[in-house]
């Protein structure tokens, strides 16, 4: 079972560049989430989706965009990278909104 798969694992971007963080899950989960994790702070929700075609903002959505064209995939787009977006990004999924979330291995992103 692959679970939640994130690519890439590491990336260095220059300020102003764009990139897409990929996330796919094979558990047929309706709910998917994007978090960022910064040192000394709790996970912060960026965007989430309750099903294909439906996305909504979380606590820290500025500078990011998402889409959910299929149940399996939930990519996160950074349009104009800024140093403040240096972080570890986790994608997660769950069957319902109250079930435990399953996490991918994370993407470590540095903006220089």
Of 1, 78, 13, the C-alpha closest to 47 is: 78
User: Rounded CA gap, 7 and 9, in Å?
Assistant: 5
Interacting residues with other proteins between 73 and 92 (CB under 8 A): 90
Specify the residue, 41 or 112, whose C-beta has the smaller distance to other proteins.
41
User: Rounded CA gap, 19 and 92, in Å?
Assistant: 19
Specify the residue, 1 or 40, whose C-beta has the smaller distance to other proteins.
40
Of 73, 79, 112, the C-alpha closest to 93 is: 73
Interacting residues with other proteins between 3 and 42 (CB under 8 A): 40-42
22, 44, 65, 67: which one binds other proteins (CB under 8 A): 44
Binding footprint of other proteins on the chain (CB under 8 A)? 40-45, 48, 58, 90, 97-98, 100-106
């Amino acid at each position: 079972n692959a679970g939640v798969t994130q690519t890439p694992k590491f990336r260095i971007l220059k300020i102003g560049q764009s990139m897409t963080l990929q996330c796919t899950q094979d558990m047929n989960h309706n709910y998917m989430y994007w978090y960022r994790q910064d040192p000394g702070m709790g996970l912060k929700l960026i965007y989430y989706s309750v099903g294909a075609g439906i996305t909504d903002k979380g606590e820290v959505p500025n500078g990011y965009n998402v889409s959910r064209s299929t149940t399996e995939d939930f990519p996160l787009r950074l349009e104009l990278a800024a140093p403040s977006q240096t972080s570890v990004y986790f994608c997660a999924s769950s069957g319902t909104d109250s079930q435990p979330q399953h996490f991918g291995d994370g993407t470590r992103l540095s903006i220089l």
